[in-house]
Amino acid sequence: MSSLGRREGKRSNKGFEARRGDVGVSQHSGNIDVTATFFCTAPVSVATMNMLVDGEWRTDAYQTTNEDGAFERGTTSFRDRIEDDPDARFQPEAGRYHLYVCRACPWAHRTLVTRKLKGLEDAITVDYVDPYRGEDGWQFTPEKDGCTPDTVNGSDYLREVYVEADPDMTGRVTVPVLWDKQEETIVNNESAEIMRMLDTEFDDVAEHDVNLYPEGYQEDIDEIIEAIYEPINNGVYKAGFADSQAAYDEAVEELFDALDHWDSVLEDQRYLAGDRLTEADIAMFTTLVRFDEVYHTHFMCNHKLIAEYDNLWPYLRDVYGTDGVAETVDIDHIKEHYYTTHPDVSPKRIVPKGPAPDFKAPHDRDELPGGPPADLV
């Protein structure tokens, strides 16, 4: 049982209320409040971000901090959903959908972990953009290790994919992107919703019998994902991109209060929602695995390393050691992206060597009740 308490009964995993253009409106995936949305776009500076305006690329159109110097994450633009329903526009079919991701991005990483755990590699194809993001936005550099060309649309920049879906697109160009090859459009670019769709709607084409949103846990999972988003997942960015001491101090205090809380929760249970590996663990993992290598130094979240926590550190190694998860982690891309793409934070763009935490070290978490899905053991 999670610290939030078990609630019985099934909660719908469908019903994403938001659609394209619903900016600044309370939006939900299941019970997840995604008014603050989960995607990755790297600021070229702390003051502004690049974006599309009426289908044209602009480098001065979006402010990332408010008047108090606090970082504010924007909203996603494409919010359709795939449903295992014969009447649905977007139905789960092998070979129909394609992911555009960056290996460095924690939001895109959620979709890669889910795809891997479910065994959807053959059903859903993927392309990887360059971890470095300059003024032209996310780009395809197939000559670079770990990167690919755009194998579906032949684009040089990810923004071209967005314009292909909507020639008059106004909004930020972010990863992940879930593309429909059949209708030649973007289905969704909200990571929490893509993660949920891959988990719940593709069972008929998945190679693994893995359920990361099981009945009896669903309300807890939704509440945990929401609870960790603002102080932890987004909190590291609020600290790193803060433009005032007060905004930074508030973000760091909230971040480490939350980390301390979940470290305590994990003392007596193997996973965030209890004895089952769930979507909540994926949402936490993709932040924690970047913490000591990047957020601790680059974003000045240096009160404590994850490796110094009694329970979060072995928990991180436990999830990392789940079959297939380590293959989704590319520390080189992660470090290159953060240290070279944010010149206002790291102006010399020097990538540090350490600290190189040992994610493969024994963790002893298997002594607690529960474990990963049987198909992953």
Pairing of strands 97-101, 124-128: parallel
Distance set, CA 375 to CA 99, 174, 318, 326 (Å) = 24, 32, 16, 16
Contacts of 306 (CB under 8 A, 6+ apart): 259, 288, 291, 292, 296, 312, 313, 316, 357
Tokens of 273: 């929602």
- C-alpha torsion angle, residues 144, 146, 151, 152 (rounded to 10): -120
- Close Cβ partners of 31 (under 8 Å, ≥ 6 residues apart): 11, 218, 219, 222, 223, 226
Residue 355: other Cβ atoms inside 10 A: 12
Closest alpha carbon to 100 in 161, 29, 183, 182: 161
Q: Identify whether 237 is a catalytic site residue.
A: yes
Distance CA 84, CA 357 (A): 41
Q: Return the DSSP state at 350.
A: P
- Determine which one of 40, 97, 100, 105 is catalytic: 105
> Distance between CA atoms of 306 and 52, rounded to whole angstroms?
37
Nearest residue to 289 (alpha-carbon basis) of 307, 301, 271: 307
Q: Which of 157, 237, 320, 338 is catalytic?
A: 237
| Spatial distance between the Cα atoms of 57 and 47, rounded to a whole number of angstroms | 17
**Alpha helices of the chain — where are they, by DSSP H?**
106-118, 158-165, 191-200, 218-228, 235-240, 245-265, 279-290, 296-298, 312-320, 331-341
Which residues belong to the active site? 105, 237
